[in-house]
Chains A and B, each alone.
Chain A
Amino acid sequence: GEDVEQSLFLSVREGDSSVINCTYTDSSSTYLYWYKQEPGAGLQLLTYIFSNMDMKQDQRLTVLLNKKDKHLSLRIADTQTGDSAIYFCAESIDGANNLFFGTGTRLTVIP
């Protein structure tokens, strides 16, 4: 079955880069997503990458995909206190809507 893993916690200093990692097991993943969840709120889609890409950049966010190792990462440049949140990676294997989520990584930005 599908299994998406993330480390639970990450702390960085304001202004540094953050790198949040995710591993998945299903090699037939078609899309991979990063969502952000602020305290007590729903999830907000940050970015996504097609499985035939290896990198996508969107302002301060860079997504890297290593299909061989089934490893996905989200890099946040110049991390701000407003970036403190839980970040979830998710995979879609059927090209439709069913997503499998990781456990989430809680990012804490230290001023």
Chain B
Amino acid sequence: DGGITQSPKYLFRKEGQNVTLSCEQNLNHDAMYWYRQDPGQGLRLIYYSQIVNDFQKGDIAEGYSVSREKKESFPLTVTSAQKNPTAFYLCASASQGLGEQYFGPGTRLTVT
């Protein structure tokens, strides 16, 4: 089945540790996105990539890093520099030229 997957669904880490969230799509989409969702704040864009080997910072990139070595994959690393990492993280992909984004099921990260 075509779609976009994120793993794991729940992730727990100790403060000070880096953690990488996985996002994979088999929709042949060029563009991929990472959002952070906090209660009452909607979605905020962390990073996005319109093409392999290229990515841009979104509104809240500080404390995060990404890579885009393959079209299908866009992993997000939450570094120890991110002050409030506990959140629900959503990955999305889109085909070039069309506006709609397709979302993965999300990863809930809890850092204690």
Contact = CB atoms under 8 A, between A and B. Distances in A.
A97 B94 contact: yes
B99 A31 contact: yes
Nearest to A95: B99
A42 interface: yes
Contacts of B103: 35, 42-44
Contacts of B90: 42-43
Interface in A76-111: 88, 92, 95-99, 101-104
Contacts, number: 60
Interface residues of B, number: 26
Given A88-B43, A103-B41, A48 B100 contact: yes
Contacts of B42: 4, 88, 101-104
A31 B31 CA distance: 17
Contact of A30 (B43, B92, B99): B99
B2 interface: no
Interface of B: 6, 31, 33, 35, 40-43, 45, 48, 50, 90, 92, 94, 96-106, 108
Interface of A: 4, 8, 30-31, 33, 35, 40-45, 48, 88, 92, 95-99, 101-104
